[in-house]
Homo-oligomer: A and B are copies of this chain.
């Protein structure tokens, strides 16, 4: 069975929420652990609505310090404290965020000592690996916004092939050989017969990937970093006729999001962070699809599975 790699949209408005859209927050379920990406006001309520177990969130990535991307963080941390959390919480953000959270915890006289709260400062100059384990690598990379801002790339790491159990008995394969075969080796039987690796193994599923790019102006510099990504979320605050406004505010149009997706050879594009000036994102979506047909406009509480 394929293990999950699923994105859930908790909020997708731009600066101010609407009755339909919370401020920005997303949660990526990677192999059963949850990465929270941005944390706008109302995130903890949206987590409940989507039945996401708070205790499975160990990592929070904050793209930048505009309020619509992190005003929900103090409420979530307060709830962690009230719930008696014990496990470490890692926050990847601008180094200043630590001062902001510490001020609030002191102000609220909340005792946050029962669990380690670990801040990891982001690098806004160049791409950087921020989490890496046997299964997954998470990197931050610079976006182009009014203030220091990072995107995030989540990549499953290549897994070993699965050995076919019946073949172990059939060729009497010793246990010490299995590791090599999983890594791609052929097998030579006692009487010298060479069994090609392809006969012994089922290839591992292709590693999946997700990239998050919000908030950002049109930014070709990041294309190499996200090249070939399975799923790309790119902000699309404005429609094409408001391109000048997008440039002035360091945001993107749907067309620009689509151009990035196309240039980066993404498999699929999600757009969001729509300005409240548009009643619906229909026009932004249409303009994006003209350039990159595999585009969807996200909705709050919708999930997108990377297959």
Interface residues of A (CB under 8 A from B): 15-19, 22-23, 41-42, 44-45, 48-49, 65-68, 71-72, 74-75, 78-79, 82, 96, 99-100, 103-104, 107-108
Residues in B neighbouring A72, C-beta threshold 8 A:
41
Check B17 against A44 for contact (C-beta < 8 Å).
yes
Question: Assuming A41-B75, A65-B108, is B19 touching A49 (CB within 8 A)?
Answer: yes
Residues in B neighbouring A78, C-beta threshold 8 A:
67, 71
Assembly stoichiometry (copies): 2
Residues in B neighbouring A17, C-beta threshold 8 A:
44-45, 48
Residues in B neighbouring A44, C-beta threshold 8 A:
16-17, 41
Nearest-CB distance from A276 to chain B (Å)? 9
**Which single member of B15, B22, B66, B96 contacts A45 (CB below 8 Å)?**
B22
Extra inter-chain contacts (13) besides given A42-B45, A67-B74, A71-B75, CB under 8 Å = A15-B79, A16-B44, A17-B45, A22-B45, A42-B42, A65-B107, A67-B75, A71-B71, A71-B78, A96-B107, A100-B104, A103-B103, A103-B107
What separation, in Å, do the CA atoms of A103 and B104 have in the docked complex? Answer: 9
Check B19 against A48 for contact (C-beta < 8 Å).
yes
Residues in B neighbouring A41, C-beta threshold 8 A:
41-42, 44-45, 71-72, 75
Nearest-CB distance from A302 to chain B (Å)? 16
**Which single member of B45, B49, B71, B82 contacts A74 (CB below 8 Å)?**
B71
Residues in B neighbouring A104, C-beta threshold 8 A:
100
Check B103 against A16 for contact (C-beta < 8 Å).
no
| Nearest CB in chain B to that of A79: its residue | B16
Check B82 against A15 for contact (C-beta < 8 Å).
yes
Residues in B neighbouring A75, C-beta threshold 8 A:
23, 41, 67-68, 71
Question: Assuming A107-B100, A108-B65, is B19 touching A45 (CB within 8 A)?
Answer: yes
